[in-house]
Amino acid sequence: MSNLIQIGVSAEEDLLVRFDKLITTRGYKNRSEALRDLIRDTLVQYQLEKSEETEVVGSLTLVYDRHNKELTKH
């Protein structure tokens, strides 16, 4: 990991309470880890939105009961 630089962030108390709940739900160790992850996600989204030549890969998975004869009627 590269050198870490400390920054200060100011936020409303209710926003931090909600953020702390998210941190717990997603299993982050602390706010710093969660903020780094959010920054990375935001940078990726920004890159995808601004670049028309970005390649994106996706997958579509269908799960069905092959014995159900009624599938084609729905």
In the structure, what pLDDT confidence band is assigned to residue 1 with cuts at 50, 70 and 90? low
Nearest to 32 by CA among 65, 52, 8, 61: 8
Rounded (10°) CA dihedral 35, 20, 8, 43: 20
pTM of structure? 0.63
Q: Helix 13-26 vs helix 31-50: angle between axes, to the nearest 10 degrees?
A: 90
Given a cut of 90, is residue 48 above it in pLDDT?
no
pLDDT in tens, 60-73: 998 888 888 787 77
